[in-house]
Structure 1
Amino acid sequence: MDKRDGNTLSLTHTIHASVKSVWRCWSEPALLSKWFCPAPWHYHAETIELRPGGTFRGSMSGPEGQQVENTGLILDAAPQSRIVFTNMFGPGWIPQNPSFGMVAVISLQANSDTLTTYHAQAHHWSEEHCTTHENMGFFA
């Protein structure tokens, strides 16, 4: 189920993989790079420190040569269960001013040894920021 509610974008998918495997795809930069943004964009994950205060850093490349740096801060992380991060702060809790400000909440729930419910929410500071993120392909 994909939806927009005010300034929040949400999606829920059932993934045919164990929760351990899905967590791995969030915690290893090489794996995150394979799926984090929709085609024709490409994501290059550099650093993922899944602990409160950890760095989340990478960059996106667009089909027309666009480059978007993506640096944020992990606010909360519970192994194989939950990740909360923001792009409003960078490493060392330094405030940032990204093109769209958000807090993302990722929840994982094991349905069986081979099925995981993946729920993602992106809470935005404004309608404009939410629309920018949606137009970048959040639901793609």
Structure 2
Amino acid sequence: MSEAEHELSVSCHIAAPRAICWKVWTDLKDEWFCPKPWRVDVIEEDLRPGGRSAVQMFGPDGEETGPMEGVFLEVAPGERVVTTDAYAAGWAPQTPFMTAIWDFADEDVDGDGGTRFTATARHWDAEAKARHEAMGFHPGWDQMMAQYKALCETSAASA
């Protein structure tokens, strides 16, 4: 099995430097992390390996996702963040769904000093990947990516 076999991914060029993209990722998650009109509450983001990552999403008609709980596996500021829901804080095992990988790389297009941002969901098996696709991975993550890109570029323009 290749690493990519159970992956779903979205990527885009952002006309903003990595430092701004990183700041938006870390400080403004409540403004881009889920497709509008849904909203997200960031419960905790302890950005260090083993630190807790917990968010909860709320829909426009009162829907809720129970808290999405996990831990950070890797944090390389401005470069990469890896989280998994295979564990809750304190390395308490829980039923895994995916590992999320967020990559930031320099990508200068026409002198814009931009960033290539890639968000990857790596699943344990084909069934989990198919379930995520059926839940609307691409419409949801594509919209999340568009919101993130717009927020990064607006932040860069006002910096």
Q: TM-score range by the shorter chain?
A: 0.7 to 0.9
Task: Name 2:41's counterpart in structure 1.
Answer: 44
The structure with the largest helix share of the pair is 2
Query: 1:39-94, CA deviations, whole angstroms, 9 ceiling, x for partnerless residues?
Result: 23222112112211111111011233221111110000101000010011110010
Q: Classify the secondary structure of the residue corresponding to 1:131.
A: helix
Task: Name 1:21's counterpart in structure 2.
Answer: 20
CA contact (8 A) 1:48 1:57 kept: yes
Note if 1:103 corresponds to 2:99.
yes
Task: Name 2:63's counterpart in structure 1.
Answer: 66
CA contact (8 A) 1:47 1:57 kept: yes
Alpha carbons of structure 1 residues 67 and 129: separation in structure 2 relative to 1, 3 Å: same
1:1-140 aligned within 5 A: 6-28=5-27, 31-68=28-65, 69-97=67-95, 101-112=97-108, 114-140=113-139
The structure with the largest strand share of the pair is 1
Identity of aligned residues (%): 36
Shift of 1:108: 0.3
Deviates more, 1:101-110 or 1:119-128: 119-128
CA contact (8 A) 1:72 1:86 kept: yes
Return the alpha-carbon distance in structure 1 between the equivalents of residues 130 and 38 of structure 2: 18
Q: What TM-score does the superposition give when structure 1 sets the normalisation length?
A: 0.84
RCO greater where, 1 or 2, for CA within 8 Å and sep 6 or more?
2
CA contact (8 A) 1:88 1:102 kept: yes
How many equivalent pairs are there? 132
Identify unmatched segments of 5+ residues in structure 1: none
Task: Name 2:154's counterpart in structure 1.
Answer: none
